[in-house]
Copies of this chain bind each other. A is one copy, B any other.
Amino acid sequence: MTVEADGREMHALVKRLYPICRSITGDGVRRTLDIVGESVPLEISEVPTGTEVLDWTVPREWNIRDAYIKDASGARVVDFAESNLHVVGYSVPVSATMTLDELREHLHTLPGQPGLIPYRTSYYAETWGFCLRENTLATLGDGPYEVLIDSTLADGHLTYGEYVVPGRVADEVLVSCHVCHPSLANDNLAGIAVATRLARRLAETAPWYTYRFLFTPGTIGAITWLARNRERVEQVKHGLVLACAGDSGVLTYKRSRQGNAEIDRVVRYVLRTSGRDHEIVDFSPYGYDERQFCSPGFNLPVGSLTRTPYAGYPEYHTSADDPDFVSPEAMADTLETCWEVTRVLERNRHYLNLSPYGEPQLGRRGLYGSLGGRSDTRQTQMAMLWVLNLSDGEHSLLDIAERSHLPFAAVADAAQALRGAGLVKEWR
């Protein structure tokens, strides 16, 4: 499949998922996981309301069928059917008639972006509300208005999905994306689409690492997974949180809390050597689920890859974050970057030089050009000399690539050739 086809496929998925009203629980998440499951077979977990997860408790499940504000003429001046952003997430049911003045404390607008609907939620404080365009609000008369939110907030479940590509080792690479946002394309349907496509591509290989893809509601979903997988956490050797994967900005990598973990170095290496414009920023305890994976008790080597980062673009958390805001090309570029990251992770090893005293005689092993004196020594031979020189158990192949300024693949190929000749062995 070409890069272009990948991009088209991911964009089609974004458009298909866009209308669904997702939240941290409820049928929107289930429908979303069903659709992702058409591409990769997901294992679905349903965790009951009231389950204690770390410092949190799984909340009641929220579902919504309809919501509106009707004026005296019966016209829906705000209509959930037009955009699910119109309702504050987790709004309790309401059915009432009230004046604009009474209604006003339940209305949220963006005065600075009067044409856009904001995205708001209130998961843990029982309330209700509507989000609307400031422009709409300006046209509203004193009322009265008929206000309806046909939602339910009841015992149920929190739902998340997992997909595992088994590797040759139990050590895991975690790829996580949040599935709790309603009609917002970049945040995070693009991340879901890239994760899904990456999972399918990895499934076509026989990878070294086990790759675990998590499709979970933000915060409470990651916390729930962590709470139910305490023993598995130690197997997570590398990880990426994918979000905002489709806008037109440059790629941004936010380091793990550890700051110089292997994933941090690999992503930096890929971004630098690919020639892509990019940003690398330090960890901060805000943003997406890296907040949970990088809490001090877990402190996992999990970074976050986005294009324009969290809250960094004016369309963020508004109705302008629609499918036109993300492009097939940008998602394909994010996907390729993730893929290249796995290409380095998969081969990055420590080798041990078994003939460390002086250089071994490469020539008699057919590993070295026979005619001396020439100064145009080839990359292959330089890569072998570097691998031999630095394979003291302390340097990984990535260390060697960075120090030698040779491509990682050339260094890894050299290590493979030297291993074939019995000159190095895999160390760790």
Contacts and interface: CB of A to CB of B under 8 A. Distances in A.
A138 to B, nearest CB: 21
Given A55-B355, A360-B55, A121 B373 contact: yes
Interface string A290-310: 011011111100000000000
Interface stretch (A2-10, A62-70, A193-201, A363-371): A363-371
A291 B120 CA distance: 61
Interface stretch (A93-101, A163-171, A381-389): A381-389
A41 interface: no
A213 interface: no
Interface stretch (A122-130, A150-158, A331-339): A122-130
Nearest to A371: B122
A10 to B, nearest CB: 25
A284 B404 contact: yes
- Give the contact-size bracket for chain A: 35 or more
A392 B296 contact: yes
Interface of A: 54-56, 88-89, 118-125, 127, 219, 222-223, 226-227, 257, 282, 284-286, 291-292, 294-299, 311, 316-317, 353, 355-361, 363-364, 370-375, 377, 382, 385-386, 388-392, 403-404
Given A122-B371, A125-B370, A357 B391 contact: no
Given A286-B385, A377-B286, A382-B286, A358 B55 contact: yes
Of all A-B residue pairs in the complex, the 6 with the closest CB atoms, nearest first, are A297-B356, A125-B370, A285-B389, A297-B357, A311-B375, A121-B372
A360 to B, nearest CB: 4
A1 B71 CA distance: 62
B286 A370 contact: no
A392 B123 CA distance: 29
A106 to B, nearest CB: 11
A118 B361 CA distance: 24
Nearest to A230: B357
Contacts of A226: 357-358
A372 B317 CA distance: 11
A121 B363 CA distance: 13
A389 B294 contact: yes
A219 B359 contact: yes
A358 B120 contact: no
21 contacts: A55-B361, A120-B372, A122-B371, A123-B372, A124-B364, A222-B358, A226-B358, A227-B358, A284-B404, A285-B385, A285-B388, A286-B377, A286-B385, A291-B389, A292-B359, A295-B358, A296-B353, A296-B356, A296-B390, A297-B358, A311-B375
Contacts of A119: 373
A391 B296 contact: yes
Given A56-B358, A124-B361, A297-B356, A257 B389 contact: yes
Contacts of A88: 371
A227 to B, nearest CB: 8
A358 B298 contact: yes
Contacts of A353: 296-297
A342 to B, nearest CB: 27
Given A292-B358, A295-B356, A296-B392, 19 more contacts: A55-B361, A88-B371, A120-B372, A122-B372, A124-B363, A124-B364, A223-B359, A282-B403, A284-B404, A285-B389, A291-B385, A292-B359, A295-B358, A295-B359, A295-B388, A295-B389, A297-B356, A298-B358, A317-B375
Contacts of A291: 359, 385, 389
Contacts of A382: 286
A296 B389 contact: yes
A411 to B, nearest CB: 12
Contact of A121 (B54, B125, B127, B371): B371
